[in-house]
DNA sequence: TCTTACATACACCGAACTGTGTACGTAACG
DNA sequence: CGTTACGTACACAGTTCGGTGTATGTAAGA
């Protein structure tokens, strides 16, 4: 492997390297500003290999989103040590170093609602709202759907503002969430 | 004007036609997917003319944002027939056909915080929050800055969600706003 | 009328982009 | 061993992009 014209060979596992490079580059540079040449260079994969795993960049982008959070925030909603009300609030305690909502970014960058990645972004947002609604129901909210949709809106607002202003907006969203939750759950 | 190689001449006012075409195309297609060739064709302006008014596309994008809402929602905040509290709520009653927050879109699409348009997007977001804070103070809120920032976050959340989900989210944001306003203003 | 600012047509440049064709290595597995 | 799937190198097609060079036309204002 070391000699000959193939000194840079990395062997099997190209697909994972491609997706790993996608996570990094799409987050840091955006989707449109990341060319396949650069992506393949970072992944240490030949371009031909990349196009044998993904028929197009669009498909790679869609898979990148699918792999980002397949469990839909399991570290929040699958915690059994928290009450439903605590889980609702935990959704706003982000790990600080989170790059922030690639789903919104993808929908804006691609700008085509029919793009598979845009469709998945919608699905993901609906799934988040559904999990919030579920927790709201368990917490005894009088209108769980409404509370779930409201909290989902707060998350997206904090994401958007963090992105535009580069100032942490999740504490603000968390404060609003606390008010809404208290108002929505009868004492 | 009718004969010769200049049959398509449109005369003076090229700058306004360029900016008008920008409003339409950047909104409908996004910034990155709109080439200068297409933009000039829609504006019925020669490419050379466009680059005599703007030294680069980046500068055009920045000017496009500056012209979008220079008064920072005057139709909401400059209304004297409404009470401060009513003005705060009026910020969530969008005219339904609004294309929706080009500032967030620009910040995401350009992906460079140093880009002049990204900087203006930040300035605009800060200005909106300032106007909300001012109205909150007039309305007698105990913590006007907090309420202003909260309401600004709601607007951005509704914008982002409308964009991703293509479902109207401003009514949801308005409902939250009503709760926050009532909680923030002592009876 | 003459000057000057504005607008035009059109070809063109270099760079970047997505995607492909081809021929070749190499590792796993029966 | 041999087969097969995976990976590689590298050039290149075809397009689009932002931006420019050049020479020309035309309208407004002094």
B81: which DSSP letter? S
Chain A CB contacts of B142 below 8 Å: none
Q: How many residues does chain B have?
A: 187
Average pLDDT of every residue of chain A: 92
Give the pLDDT confidence score for residue A99 in this predicted structure: 67
Chain A CB contacts of B29 below 8 Å: 111
* Residues B160, A158: C-beta atoms closer than 8 Å: no
Question: What is the C-alpha to C-alpha distance for residues A180 and A183, in angstroms, rounded to an integer?
Answer: 5
Give the pLDDT confidence score for residue A32 in this predicted structure: 98
**∠ CA(B42), CA(B44), CA(B50), 5° rounding?**
95
B52 touches strand C (CB under 7 A): yes
Give the pLDDT confidence score for residue A96 in this predicted structure: 62
Contacts of A36 by beta carbon, 8 Å cutoff, 6+ apart: A47, A50, A57
Give the pLDDT confidence score for residue A187 in this predicted structure: 81
Give the pLDDT confidence score for residue B6 in this predicted structure: 36
Determine which of A164, A168, A169, A184 to mutate to test the interface with B (most B C-beta atoms within 10 Å): A164
Determine which of B27, B164, B167 to mutate to test the interface with A (most A C-beta atoms within 10 Å): B164
Q: Which residues touch strand D (CB under 7 A)?
A: A 5-15, 44-49, 52-53; B 1, 4-6, 9, 11-12, 32-38, 47-48, 51, 55-58
- For the record, the structure tokens of B24 come out as 């339409």
Determine which of B27, B142, B160 to mutate to test the interface with A (most A C-beta atoms within 10 Å): B160
Task: Please give residues of chain B from 3 to 42 whose alpha-adjacent beta carbon (CB) lies under 7 Å from any atom of strand C.
Answer: 5-15
Answer whether residue A2 shows pLDDT above 80: no
B32: which DSSP letter? T
Which residue in B109, B126, B169 is closest to A153 by CB distance?
Answer: B169
Question: What is the C-alpha to C-alpha distance for residues A64 and A62, in angstroms, rounded to an integer?
Answer: 5
Nearest-CA distance B116 → chain A (Å):
13
B99/A175: higher pLDDT:
A175
Query: What percentage of residues in chain A have a pLDDT greater than 70?
Result: 92
Question: What is the C-alpha to C-alpha distance for residues B89 and B93, in angstroms, rounded to an integer?
Answer: 7
Contacts of A118 by beta carbon, 8 Å cutoff, 6+ apart: A106, A107, A110, A112, B164
Nearest-CA distance A157 → chain B (Å):
3
Q: How confident is the model at residue A1 (pLDDT cuts 50, 70, 90)?
A: very low
Q: How confident is the model at residue A14 (pLDDT cuts 50, 70, 90)?
A: confident
Question: What is the C-alpha to C-alpha distance for residues B118 and B1, in angstroms, rounded to an integer?
Answer: 41
Give the pLDDT confidence score for residue B4 in this predicted structure: 33
Give the pLDDT confidence score for residue A165 in this predicted structure: 95
- What is the count of residue pairs from A and B with beta carbons less than 8 Å apart? 116
Which of A4-13, A15-24, A49-58, B60-69 is the least confident region? A4-13
Which residue in A125, A154, A172 is closest to B149 by CB distance?
Answer: A172
H-helix or E-strand spanning residue B3: none
Give the pLDDT confidence score for residue A11 in this predicted structure: 65
* Residues A154, B152: C-beta atoms closer than 8 Å: no
A168 touches strand C (CB under 7 A): no
Which of A59-63, A98-102, A110-114 is the least confident region? A98-102
The pLDDT profile of chain B, 187 residues, written as one tens digit per residue, is: 333 333 345 667 889 999 999 999 999 999 999 999 999 999 999 999 999 999 999 999 999 999 999 999 999 999 999 999 999 999 999 866 676 799 999 999 999 999 999 999 999 999 999 999 999 999 999 999 999 999 999 999 999 999 999 999 999 999 999 999 999 999 8
Give the pLDDT confidence score for residue A12 in this predicted structure: 75
Give the pLDDT confidence score for residue B12 in this predicted structure: 75
pLDDT one-digit tens code per residue, A131-173? 999 999 999 999 999 999 999 999 999 999 999 999 999 999 9
* Residues A161, B156: C-beta atoms closer than 8 Å: yes
pLDDT one-digit tens code per residue, A31-61? 999 999 999 999 999 999 999 999 999 999 9
């Amino acid at each position: 492997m070391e000699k000959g014209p193939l000194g840079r060979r990395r062997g099997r596992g190209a697909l994972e390297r491609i997706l790993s490079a996608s996570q990094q580059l799409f987050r840091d540079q955006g989707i449109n500003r990341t060319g396949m040449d650069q992506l393949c260079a970072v992944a240490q994969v030949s371009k031909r290999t990349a196009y044998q795993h993904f028929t197009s960049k669009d498909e790679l982008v869609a898979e990148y989103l699918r792999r980002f959070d397949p469990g839909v925030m399991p570290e929040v909603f699958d915690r059994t040590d928290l009450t439903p009300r605590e889980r609702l609030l935990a959704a706003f305690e982000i790990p600080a170093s989170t790059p922030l909502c690639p789903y919104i970014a993808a929908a804006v960058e691609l700008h085509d609602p029919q793009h598979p990645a845009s469709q998945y972004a919608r699905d993901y947002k609906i799934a988040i709202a559904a999990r919030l609604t579920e927790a709201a129901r368990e917490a005894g909210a009088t209108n769980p759907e409404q509370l779930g949709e409201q909290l989902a809106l707060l998350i997206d607002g904090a994401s958007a503002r963090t992105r535009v202003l580069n100032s942490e907006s999740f504490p603000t969203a968390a404060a609003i969430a606390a008010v809404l939750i208290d108002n929505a759950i009868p004492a």
